[in-house]
Structure 1
Amino acid sequence: MSAFMSVFASLVEHLADALDPLFHASATAAAIVLFTACVRLLVHPLSRASARGQKARAKLSPQIAELRKKHSKNPEKLQKAVMELHRKEKVSPLSGCLPSLFQLPAFFLLYHLFSNSSIGGEANTLLDHTLFAAPLGGRWADALSDGGVFGAQGLVYLGLFAIVAAVATFNFKRTKRQMAANPQPGTGAGTGAGDQPMPGMAAMAKVMPLMSFMTLFTVAVVPLAAALYVVTSTTWSAVERAVLYRDMPSGAGALATAA
């Protein structure tokens, strides 16, 4: 593991060296943003496949509505019938999770790299690199103790929080519109008599639009380098979904996983 982290640290340093003429003291932060963009480009084919899956599931809506009517008094049979329909049509209800799952290793690499004072037995010099005044190995709590919310470091975090809040608000409004236009089976939000709520589904439908705001908490508690990954990836996801789902039926992308 130490050897692998050393190689990854070297990669980040080489990217920072290449970007130094443009970004100077913030070159390492820029390298993290570039690294995140590269990861998202690699994951993009999965995102496109997820969008195709969402479109296929949208086409099954009339059949699912019939199943809800048929099994209106038996939620277990309804759930089994929907799963059988997905299998028959070769549609995976979990395909939207794949882009997020494949990004986790990259996030944890950055988290580990900027959470340790030494890598491969040597001092981790990356911790001294900064985004403006804020060290990449620091956290919001460190910024608050060194100048407060409006101190030099605190202002960096306020900028990140503003970006996350804007993206989360965009996702929130979009998801609310989509879920209102096409209520999901088992949430009890449909107008048909057969739309009986499945255990936990109604609560999930209420919580899902708020999930984007959880990114604010993540940015506040992880090292700044990992927070940069999260902010960049979340912004990418919002733009990517808006493009991939632009020509899909309203509501088709409502349950796509944000990443």
Structure 2
Amino acid sequence: MLHPALPRKSHPLLAALLLLAAGTAHAADIHVVSSGGFAQAYKNLAPAYERASGDRLLSAWGPSMGTTSNAIPARLARGEQIDVVIMVGDALDKLMQEGRLVPGSKVVLAQSPIACAVRHGAAKPDISTIDGLRSAFLQAQTVAYSDSASGEYIERQLMNKLHIAQQMQGKAAKIPATPVGEIIARGQADFGCQQRSELMPVEGIDLVGLLPAQVQQLTEFSAALVRNARQPDAGRALLRFLAAPASAGVIEATGLQPASALPPAPKPMPSAH
């Protein structure tokens, strides 16, 4: 069941939805798969969409990349019935190029910064500076990061930018499928980083903060219609709703930066040679 419901002050959102969904003549079952970074925003928006449109959202979850069976590319490759995907923009673009998504149907929804967390009640390291972030990684006994976009960046770029790639070998681990926050909450890692929007809903952890601007990586989350979708019209109505400016406040409340209010990207810190 999708939850939680939208706050009471959602009249502009509902009004916009009534217009956006007007093109759908009959109630439809829309099969949606979302990656974790946009999952909470989608869950919070879904009840209003269902109430106003009469459509039913049949939702599933999976990473935008990786080799797990629930990853979105794997689902599409085996022909799973899906109408709409919500995922990391770069991975979506690749699927579009492969012909698995409807050309021109992509809508950019938000960008997501990377944050770090510790187990609830543990001491919070200061990661507001490059030196502080480096120290937090080095002093942690075990570090967790995801097998999706944020983890790929941490493993392949951030460790080199911080000049700690060798020191982190053996105590930093990529976590497949399971949210990093859950690993920290269980005590299986004492420090970890992932999309802020994926960490915020997890109980048993405390957010430490965002990566410093010089090494921050903003990840785009987008949505598109799957080729051969059984409900193309209803799927397009859902895409219009998710991307509507009226949805921005709900999206922002989950730790994402809505596409309608994105700041300029920070100047990246050069990688070590």
What TM-score comes out, normalization by structure 2 length? 0.19
Q: Comparing both structures, which one devotes a greater share of its residues to helix?
A: 1
Whichever of the two has the greater Rg, that structure is: 1
Q: Comparing both structures, which one devotes a greater share of its residues to strand?
A: 2
